[in-house]
């Protein structure tokens, strides 16, 4: 793997420094001076070569140290930013996702990020930037003992911050992050921070207090009722129902904690009794002791708006970006009950077709302007700082809402309807596809640009940070490439393709978005994101038996990628090319950009870096020819289907287009799980084992008696429980454990009815949602379910902050997943990962790829598998990879015997998940030196280019 190692170290545009695993390293001036000398040395060589004084191969032996130091002072002021994530609220999983995204986009030569984590007990830790890529709160908490530096108290923590960072960027959602807690802590220690001060945070965070303040300030508000503790009178709530003309028996209301963020604990109740019951549940569950009951708004549309303060110092100048309309879809249900009635946590943060976003909203223009004016006014009157997200509702004139004051001068009344502001989010979510980035990209900001603008705006309020606020070029935004803004003429063209039609297409969107955003960091690459979609869209009921080459590929502008589902991306494309809609969007965008002109007075603002261009639609055939014409390389991120079965690979090879991952034959073999087993069946003497399989057709399952099939299978495979999976599909869809003929009947019924998913606990033992292949597979594999001992992460009773593994190890087998990387015939195994399942026997799609679930043990603890057995395991993984002819990168799932290192192969994924929290990222980070995501994806791209030479 010497070639792989050298390709990693030759990536000169990658700028992350490796860090000590136990603590974030402190910038050392002398080391930076040496680095700067080398950089200046290269610059001087380049200048001399260009002027003809010396050849490019010549060297300069002496550089004046004083000149170097002056250039360091003038050109390279490094702002130390303390990124704090975690917190005690149920939204802390989202906080970790936000922190990963912020780290990806702001770390650079001029900005040094130090990472910190606060757990649910408000204990603080300094963590390495590598640990930010851990998947979940439980994952963080489990690894803190070995990978973090703890602080004895919050006061010790703030003392450390005062000496180690210049400004803090809190990325804690909900309690302690948005209620003024962390802000008060920083204020007392005189530590500059991004965002709103503590007193103003407290007032805006409490939904009831904020509502009262809105009312006092002359805004239209939603009538509400406060339940505090358990002393609230049922009779008073009954009177409130009557006063607002709500049926006291079945009238619909929203019940939500007053101080728990924008999503946690929000529910719908029907009538007084149900409302009191659900309010008491929120209190008894410890979510909050203040609960707000408010009228359920029907017939209107929800919206959210990002506000950016571009003023100087303590002068307010809030500008509201283009708001987003939140459209809920109920899939034709005539009886929409609680779970489908609100914009809840799942709809906000996880891929679902039950919600779609429209930026700008499909509202009358006067309403959009009213929203922008109102949000700006609210931002000022509440004393908010730097940025915020404000949620609300637009009710058309046909929908009437009563207001206790109903003044003529209430802000929110317009000729087209009523605008109500309902929630103030002091620290908006900053995941890759969040509202902040959706709206910012619509008006010209890349992820990096908007985040750095927010940080720089915060610096203006603190005199101690004047050197960073005033120095020309300090924190200068490094422009990112978009399809419309080309880099240098010599930039290598890269096309990241994702989407498709399989049930893994949403994960594919996440993978492709992550790859695209990470590759943006390289100045020598021009990266274009591309959506693969059906010829006639996702909603078409036409026969799917069409020519592969007729599938569509959309070349996407920056802003259209930032969506949660492929359906939403496609809808946004169609909306963007509709003439009237495109004209309106351009007009509104220009209005906002004019409002943002105040940024130009700041020397650190280098302008907008995202253009307003339409998407371009190709047939798959046309797209491949286009890629060939521009001599591009394709980064394949299409999971399952034609992305993994060799089809796309074959089409690209026919045109001589380089692509990532294995070739055609290896892709075909690995997509077919039976073929994979057959290809490896001769390796038993080398410690590579395969699982016995029985293949049955869907037709057989639907036509023959289920009990007869069950008895026949269990007898042939000599087992009591079975694992069922599609014969030719991705790694997660349709995989289930069957314990009885009744379970098989449930599964067969799902196939018969073409169900998209099996709901939780549909089978005889508790499990999560099981996503099903669409369309249903024609062939299914049955194999014995391999029992492994449960691995449990448990808190020690003597110390709640300490965690340890409970593993009895009776079976001596554990399940692992491991990435392999390299050139064909020389594939190298990364460190295996043991993933602790949080529900059921089969990892769900969410547990595999979403932040917020799953505990990842990378590398496996020595208490489970010895170093010797782990080494033998990795050797066998490499044998598997090279026997199958893998190249580039892939992921192998297997069971491993912890004593012998024998490997029992499950399957091989030639286009593995590449989401921000996937295990491949963890495994790359465990390398020495660590490969951060940008470097990792660049390495995979370079392997594709090297293969084509």
Could you report the per-residue pLDDT of 14-61, keeping only the tens digit for each?
323 333 333 333 333 333 333 333 443 333 334 333 333 333 333 323
Helix axes 207-216, 198-205, angle to 10 degrees: 90
By three-state DSSP, how is residue 886 classified?
coil
Does residue 171 share a domain with residue 95?
Answer: yes
| Residue 237, H or E segment | helix 234-243
Q: Report the 10 Å Cβ neighbour count for 792.
A: 12
Note the Cα 911 to chain centre separation in Å.
18
* Residue 414 counted as domain residue: yes
Q: Which residues of 84-106 are buried (b: 16+ CB within 10 A; e: fewer)?
A: bbbbbbbbbbbbbbbbbbbbbbb
How many Cα atoms occupy the beta-carbon half-sphere of 225 within 13 Å? Answer: 26
Per-residue pLDDT, 232:
65
- Cβ-proximal residues to 282 (8 Å cutoff; 6+ apart), any chain: 255, 256, 257, 265, 288, 291
List of the chain residues with pLDDT < 70: 1-76, 135, 230-232, 261-263, 329-354, 402-410, 469-489, 539-545, 729-732, 793-804, 837-854, 948-949
For residue 534, say if its preceding peptide bond is cis, omega within 30 degrees of 0. Answer: no
Domain of 597, in residue numbers: 309-400+409-426+433-475+578-606
Does residue 384 share a domain with residue 359?
Answer: yes
Does residue 191 share a domain with residue 165?
Answer: yes
* Residue 482 counted as domain residue: no
Does residue 871 share a domain with residue 758?
Answer: no
Q: In this structure, what CATH number is given to the domain that contains residue 418?
A: 3.30.470.20
The sheet with strand 492-499 has its strands ordered as 616-619, 552-555, 525-533, 492-499, 633-636
Total of domains in the chain = 4
Structure tokens at 641: 């289907």
Q: Report the 10 Å Cβ neighbour count for 73.
A: 11
* Residue 146 counted as domain residue: yes
By three-state DSSP, how is residue 867 classified?
helix
Note the Cα 290 to chain centre separation in Å.
31
The answer to whether residues 840 and 82 touch, using CB atoms and an 8 Å cutoff, is no
Q: How far apart are CA 595 and CA 365, in angstroms?
A: 16
The answer to whether residues 81 and 106 touch, using CB atoms and an 8 Å cutoff, is yes
* Residue 286 counted as domain residue: no
3-class DSSP string for 308-349:
EECCCCCCCCEEECCCEEEEECCCCCCCCCHHHCCCCHHHHH
* Residue 275 counted as domain residue: no
| Domain's final residue, options 167, 195, 223 | 195
Q: How far apart are CA 854 and CA 857, in angstroms?
A: 10
Per-residue pLDDT, 904:
96
For residue 360, say if its preceding peptide bond is cis, omega within 30 degrees of 0. Answer: yes
Does residue 803 share a domain with residue 729?
Answer: no
Does residue 816 share a domain with residue 698?
Answer: no
pLDDT 10s digits, 271-282: 999 999 999 999
Does residue 877 share a domain with residue 760?
Answer: no
Q: How far is the CA of 178 from the CAs of 88, 116, 462, 505, 833, in angstroms?
A: 11, 17, 21, 34, 35
Classify residue 610 as exposed, middle or buried by CB count within 10 Å of its CB (0-12, 13-18, 19+).
Answer: buried
* Residue 167 counted as domain residue: yes
Does residue 585 share a domain with residue 464?
Answer: yes
| Domain's final residue, options 587, 606, 625 | 606
| Domain's final residue, options 160, 195, 230 | 195
Considering only CA atoms, which of 740, 562, 819 is closest in space to residue 4?
A: 819
Does residue 831 share a domain with residue 765?
Answer: no
- 72 φ, ψ (degrees, to nearest 5): -60, -45
- 912 φ, ψ (degrees, to nearest 5): -75, 165
Please, what sign has the CA dihedral across residues 899, 901, 904, 908? Answer: positive
Per-residue pLDDT, 653:
96
Q: How far apart are CA 728 and CA 711, in angstroms?
A: 24
- Cβ-proximal residues to 717 (8 Å cutoff; 6+ apart), any chain: 692, 694, 782, 783, 784
- 159 φ, ψ (degrees, to nearest 5): -60, -40
Does residue 840 share a domain with residue 715?
Answer: no
Considering only CA atoms, which of 18, 22, 19, 21 is closest in space to residue 150?
A: 22
The answer to whether residues 576 and 554 touch, using CB atoms and an 8 Å cutoff, is no
Does residue 457 share a domain with residue 350?
Answer: yes
Q: Give the E-state strand segments of 243-334 in sequence order.
A: 252-257, 267-270, 290-295, 301-309, 318-320, 324-328
- 285 φ, ψ (degrees, to nearest 5): -80, -5
* Residue 383 counted as domain residue: yes
* Residue 53 counted as domain residue: no
Does residue 451 share a domain with residue 313?
Answer: yes
Structure tokens at 768: 């999560």
């Amino acid at each position: 793997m010497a070639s792989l190692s050298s390709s990693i170290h030759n990536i000169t545009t990658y700028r992350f420094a490796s860090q000590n695993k136990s603590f974030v390293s402190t910038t050392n001036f002398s080391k930076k001076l040496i680095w700067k000398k080398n950089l200046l040395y290269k610059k001087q060589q380049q200048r001399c070569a260009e002027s003809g004084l010396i050849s490019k191969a010549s060297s300069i032996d002496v550089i004046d140290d004083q000149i170097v130091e002056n250039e360091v002072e003038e050109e390279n002021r490094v702002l130390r930013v303390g990124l704090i994530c975690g917190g005690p609220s149920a939204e802390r999983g989202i906080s970790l996702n936000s922190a990963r995204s912020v780290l990806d986009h702001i770390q650079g030569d001029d900005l040094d990020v130090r990472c910190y984590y606060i757990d649910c007990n408000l204990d603080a830790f300094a963590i390495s930037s590598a640990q930010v890529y851990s998947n979940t709160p439980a994952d963080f908490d489990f690894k803190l003992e070995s990978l973090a530096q703890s602080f004895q108290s919050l006061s010790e923590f703030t003392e450390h911050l005062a000496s180690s960072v210049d400004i803090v960027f809190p990325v804690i959602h909900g309690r302690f992050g948005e209620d003024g807690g962390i802000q008060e802590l920083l204020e007392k220690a005189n530590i500059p921070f991004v965002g709103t001060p503590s007193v103003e945070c407290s007032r805006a965070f409490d939904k009831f207090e904020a509502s009262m303040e809105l009312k006092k300030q002359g805004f239209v508000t939603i009538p509400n009722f406060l339940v505090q503790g358990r002393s609230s009178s049922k009779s008073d709530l009954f009177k409130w129902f009557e006063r607002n003309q709500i049926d006291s028996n079945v009238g619909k209301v929203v019940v939500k904690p007053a101080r728990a963020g924008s999503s946690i604990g929000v529910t719908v109740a029907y009538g007084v009794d149900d409302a009191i019951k659900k309010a008491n549940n929120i209190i008894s569950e410890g979510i909050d002791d203040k609960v707000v009951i408010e009228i359920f708004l029907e017939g209107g549309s929800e919206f959210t708006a990002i506000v950016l303060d571009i003023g100087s110092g303590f002068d307010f100048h809030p500008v509201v970006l283009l708001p987003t309309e939140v459209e809920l879809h109920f899939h034709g249900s005539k009886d929409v009950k609680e779970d489908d009635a609100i914009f809840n946590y799942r709809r906000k943060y996880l891929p679902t077709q039950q919600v779609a976003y429209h930026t700008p909203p499909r509202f009358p223009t006067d309403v959009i302007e009213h929203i922008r004016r109102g949000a700006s006014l609210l931002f000022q009157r509440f004393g908010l700082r730097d940025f915020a997200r404000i949620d609300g509702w637009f009710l058309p004139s046909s929908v009437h809402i009563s207001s206790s004051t109903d003044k003529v001068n209430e802000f929110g009344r317009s000729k087209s309807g009523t605008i109500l502001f309902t929630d103030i989010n002091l620290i908006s979510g900053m995941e890759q596809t969040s509202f902040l980035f959706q709206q910012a990209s619509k008006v010209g900001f890349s992820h990096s640009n908007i985040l750095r603008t927010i940080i720089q705006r915060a610096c203006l309020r603190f005199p101690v940070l004047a050197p960073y606020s005033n120095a020309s070029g300090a924190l200068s935004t490094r422009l990112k490439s978009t399809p419309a803004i080309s880099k240098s003429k010599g930039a290598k063209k890269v096309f990241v393709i994702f989407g498709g039609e399989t049930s893994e297409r949403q994960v594919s969107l996440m993978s492709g978005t992550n790859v695209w955003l990470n590759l943006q960091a390289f100045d020598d690459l021009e990266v274009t994101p591309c959506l693969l979609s059906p010829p006639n869209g996702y909603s078409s009921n036409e026969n799917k038996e069409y020519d592969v080459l007729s599938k569509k590929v959309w070349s996407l502008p920056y802003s259209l990628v930032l969506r949660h589902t492929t359906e939403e991306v496609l809808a946004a494309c169609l909306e963007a090319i509709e003439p009237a809609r495109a004209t309106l969007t351009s007009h509104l965008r220009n209005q906002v950009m004019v409002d943002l002109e105040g940024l130009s007075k700041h020397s650190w603002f280098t302008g907008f870096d995202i253009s307003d261009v339409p998407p371009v639609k190709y047939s798959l055939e046309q797209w491949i020819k286009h890629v060939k014409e521009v001599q591009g390389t394709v980064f394949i991120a299409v999971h399952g289907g034609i992305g993994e079965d060799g089809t796309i690979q074959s089409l690209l090879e026919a045109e001589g287009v380089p692509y990532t991952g294995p070739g055609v034959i290896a892709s075909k073999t690995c997509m077919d799980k039976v073929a994979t087993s057959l290809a490896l069946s001769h390796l038993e003497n080398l410690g590579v084992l395969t699982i016995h399989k029985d293949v049955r057709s869907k037709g057989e399952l639907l036509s023959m008696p289920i009990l007869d099939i069950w008895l026949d299978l269990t007898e042939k495979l000599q087992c009591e429980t079975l694992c069922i999976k599609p014969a030719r599909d991705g790694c997660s869809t349709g995989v289930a454990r069957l314990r009885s003929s009744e379970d098989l009947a449930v599964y067969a019924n799902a196939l018969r009815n073409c169900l998209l998913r099996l709901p939780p606990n549909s089978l005889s033992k508790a499990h999560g949602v099981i996503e099903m292949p669409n369309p249903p597979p024609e062939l299914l594999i049955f194999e014995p379910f391999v029992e492994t001992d449960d691995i449990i992460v448990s808190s020690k009773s003597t110390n709640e902050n300490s965690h340890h593994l409970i593993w009895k190890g009776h079976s001596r087998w554990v399940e692992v997943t491991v990435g392999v990387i390299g050139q064909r015939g020389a594939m190298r195994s990364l460190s295996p990962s043991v993933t602790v399942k949080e529900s059921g026997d089969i990892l769900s799609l969410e547990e595999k790829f979403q932040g917020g679930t799953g505990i990842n043990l990378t590398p496996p603890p020595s208490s489970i598998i010895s170093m010797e057995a782990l080494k033998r395991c990795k050797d066998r993984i490499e044998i598997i990879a090279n026997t199958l002819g893998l190249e580039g990168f892939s992921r192998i799932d297997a069971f491993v015997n912890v004593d012998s290192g024998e490997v029992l192969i499950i399957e091989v994924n030639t286009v593995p998940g590449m989401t921000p929290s996937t295990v491949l990222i963890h495994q790359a980070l465990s390398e020495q030196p660590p490969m951060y995501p940008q470097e990792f994806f660049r390495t995979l791209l370079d392997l594709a280019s090297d293969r084509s030479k």
